[in-house]
Amino acid sequence: MSNKAIAITVLILLAATGYLLAVSDEPIDMGGEKHGAEATQAHDQSKEAKENKESKPAEQK
């Protein structure tokens, strides 16, 4: 592959990445990895709900 082909490939990939970031519904955050209250992840909430459900004993009649 020539240098020209590599440069064109890199430019195409950069343009595609910029386009996808521009049209996405999520805000662009270049702040890095989040910890604590800033980190909101849906799978953690469902995991907690499952643990709470399992920890409650079933009511006996």
Which pLDDT tens digit goes with each residue over 2-60? Answer: 999 999 999 999 999 999 988 988 877 778 887 777 666 555 555 666 666 666 665 65
Q: Is 59 exposed, middle or buried (0-12, 13-18, 19+ CB in 10 A)?
A: exposed
Please give the span between the terminal C-alpha atoms of the chain, in angstroms, as a whole number: 75
Q: Would you say the pTM of this structure is higher than 0.75? A: no
Q: Is the separation of the CB atoms in 19 and 11 below 8 Å?
A: no
Q: Residue 12: its pLDDT value, please?
A: 98
Distance, in Å, from the CA atom of 48 to the CA atom of 35, rounded to the nearest integer, reads: 17
